[in-house]
A and B are shown apart, each in its own frame.
Chain A
Amino acid sequence: DGGITQSPKYLFRKEGQNVTLSCEQNLNHDAMYWYRQDPGQGLRLIYYSQIVNDFQKGDIAEGYSVSREKKESFPLTVTSAQKNPTAFYLCASSLAPSTDTQYFGPGTRLTVL
């Protein structure tokens, strides 16, 4: 787990502003994922990437964007189009898309003021 990091831990944003959440891993993992977690709910998939320069939408991609220019980095941008962005955001990675174990980062708590 220590090989996957997220920053910042807490983030505050004003309405109408875009904000980018960082996710970095030094595990040499091919696959990376972004999830959103709301109180009383499970993790919901926003975007995932199975290889560099490729990514797919998850169930709740609207209002979010990602890039995967480097294997170790998978930043998530929360745009102003996301109507309810306040949540806990978790990044995860796995060795390969079909590899079982998924490791999570420590998370970023985003609050819109």
Chain B
Amino acid sequence: GENVEQHPSTLSVQEGDSAVIKCTYSDSASNYFPWYKQELGKRPQLIIDIRSNVGEKKDQRIAVTLNKTAKHFSLHITETQPEDSAVYFCAARNTGNQFYFGTGTSLTVIP
């Protein structure tokens, strides 16, 4: 099956700085990679996603990059704000339509 690893597990940045979270996956056939933001006690919310035929996608302050050869993808948040503080999860979907999640990154944006 698929194995998704996520780093770092915790990340603290100053407000206005950038944050980068990285994930690797093992199944080269995985074809869809979403990123979720989860606030304490709440449901995960999709913030951005990328398909395997695309190398980069951007939505305002958030971007995701995918390197299929190296089997890793990254979340980039620019101009961070305190409301960006949350736990972020990456995931990979395999050809059996199952999602495998990383272990999460707790992001703290310091005002």
Residues of A whose CB lies within 8 Å of any CB of B are: 1, 31, 33, 35, 40-45, 48, 50, 58-59, 90, 97-98, 100-107
Contact = CB atoms under 8 A, between A and B. Distances in A.
Given A42-B6, A42-B89, A102 B99 contact: yes
B51 A40 contact: no
Chain A interface SS verdict (over half) = loop
A43 B103 CA distance: 8
Interface residues on B, range: 20 to 34
A54 to B, nearest CB: 13
B97 A50 contact: yes
A40 B104 contact: yes
Contacts of B45: 1, 104
Contacts of B98: 45, 48, 58
Contact of A100 (B9, B34, B42, B102): B34
B46 interface: yes
